[in-house]
Amino acid sequence: MSIKLIKQALKGNGVLPRMWNSHPVKKHYDVVIIGGGAHGLATAYYLAKVHGITDVAILEKGYIGSGGSGRNTAIIRSNYLTPEGVRFYDESVKLYEEMADVLDFNVMFSQRGHLTLAHTDGAVRTMRRRAEVNKIEGVDSRLIWPEEIEGLCPGIDISDHPRYPIQAALYHPPGGIIRHDAVVWGYAHQADVRDVHIHQKTEVTGISVESGRVTGVDTTRGHISTGTVLNATAGWGSTIADMAGVKLALTTFPLQACVTEPLKPFLNVVIVSGSLHVYVSQSDRGELVMGASVDPYTSYSMDSSLSFLEGIAGHMLELFPFLAKVRVLRQWGGLCDMTPDYSPIMGFTPVEGFLVDVGWGTYGFKASPICGKTMAELIATGETPELISAFRHSRFEEFDLVGEKGAASVGH
């Protein structure tokens, strides 16, 4: 990357080449991916790179990365609770670690350490269990006590004054944050150079199904015939699936986040508190990036609310009382498709050729690379990879749920 930058600086015309191109919409594609977020773009990238399938279209109704990929708080970790979850997310962390080299784009992955605070005896017990599951799966994760927490995060209130005093934390050194836009752009660029067509401002309006098999999609830019459609949307998972006549176990909740004005660096770990429903990290610009739990009722509105801001401010001040005078710069919302067991739905559906990578709730961004890799393998081979077989759509009718309670920002 740096050599490329120096070359560009010496050339000095100030114009960087386009990272991806626009194309006319073709009448047919072998694979159509609905949703131009990190999941869809990563799937296209792996299809082209690993499996040589390049006749692929990505249909995005806004601009790429305008949904969940650009609205999350960019936290990456793998210290989940179920062995299936831990294995899956750990593969994702490994792919993130090599991403800057592989995509030849600086994604600014900062593995600064991730602390999940426990404020009750029950939470300490859960953290201990998570640490043990993590260790068995080879993930660096352990329980630490208030003195060590304060050492990693000076300024945090470890006294017994708050309503929910900090009792312990699950410490996960490989966890961290990343620049989420760069991940989207990196995948888009690498897919584009492999002849994948990225169609922005192209909304899907219908899916044609004939005798239980997908035959094409209708878009605002015309009909596309195809035998394989991947629903890689978030917030529109049910709406798109409904077009193909597939019912999903999803409910859509908004999740809000905010950033403060820039401060001098003081926080070089990611802090998460399940009991207080808050997670926070400090960006390279010095802003505190904060998120909370999903809103209390289902909605497709991405509006911000004062009740969210009041809630998160109160919780932040329990952890960091000295932030009382800090101002919030901006606030936004995104949509989370929640499943009953806090695990995604990936793979085949009852409609042949209609595949899903949905139900990514509050944990989708951190899974992008491994989702792309496994969904590409599934599309190319027609077989479900072992790593994602637990997340199959049919698990609900088989009463074989996964129960991932290590998921963030949901009330347990």
Partner 1 sequence: MLILNCPNCGKRSVGEFRFGGEYNPRPKAPETVEDEAWSEYLYMRKNASGFQKEWWFHNSGCGVWFLAERDTKTQEVFKTCLWNSEPVGEPDIAK
Q: Which residues bind partner 1 (CB under 8 A)?
A: 236-239, 242, 247-252, 296-301, 305-307, 337, 340, 396-397, 399
Q: For the range 142-146, what are the long-range contacts, defined as Cβ-Cβ under 8 Å and sequence gap of 24 or more?
A: 142/170, 142/171, 143/168, 143/169, 143/170, 143/171, 144/115, 144/168, 144/169, 144/170, 144/171
Query: What are φ and ψ of residue 324, in 5° steps?
Result: -55, -35
| Shortest CB 299 distance to partner 1, Å | 5
| Shortest CB 248 distance to partner 1, Å | 7
- Side-chain-side CA neighbours of residue 242 (13 Å): 7
| Shortest CB 146 distance to partner 1, Å | 33
Nearest CB to partner 1, comparing residues 186 and 334: 334
Contact 25, 56 (CB under 8 A): no
Cβ burial of 309 (10 Å; 0-12, 13-18, 19+) is: middle
DSSP at 383: S
Q: What is the DSSP string of 136-156?
A: HTT---EEE-HHHHHHHSTT-
Using CA atoms, how far apart are residues 340 and 247, in angstroms rounded to an integer? 14
Nearest CB to partner 1, comparing residues 9 and 399: 399
Nearest CB to partner 1, comparing residues 118 and 246: 246
Nearest CB to partner 1, comparing residues 308 and 363: 308
| Shortest CB 59 distance to partner 1, Å | 18
Nearest CB to partner 1, comparing residues 7 and 297: 297
| Shortest CB 249 distance to partner 1, Å | 4
Q: How far is CA 120 from CA 158, 279, 280, 338, in A?
A: 13, 17, 20, 26
Nearest CB to partner 1, comparing residues 12 and 297: 297
Residue indicated by tokens 């269990």: 129
| Shortest CB 311 distance to partner 1, Å | 11
Using CA atoms, how far apart are residues 76 and 99, in angstroms rounded to an integer? 13
Contact 96, 178 (CB under 8 A): yes
| Shortest CB 166 distance to partner 1, Å | 28
Query: What are φ and ψ of residue 386, in 5° steps?
Result: -50, -40
Residue indicated by tokens 């944050």: 177
Nearest CB to partner 1, comparing residues 198 and 345: 345
| Shortest CB 333 distance to partner 1, Å | 13
Nearest CB to partner 1, comparing residues 324 and 399: 399
Nearest CB to partner 1, comparing residues 109 and 342: 342
Helix H, strand E, coil C: the string for 154-212 is CCCCCCCCCCCCCCEEEEECCCEECCHHHHHHHHHHHHHCCCCEEECCCCEEEEEEECC
Q: Enumerate residues 6+ apart whose C-beta is below 8 A from 123.
A: 167, 274, 275
| Shortest CB 401 distance to partner 1, Å | 8
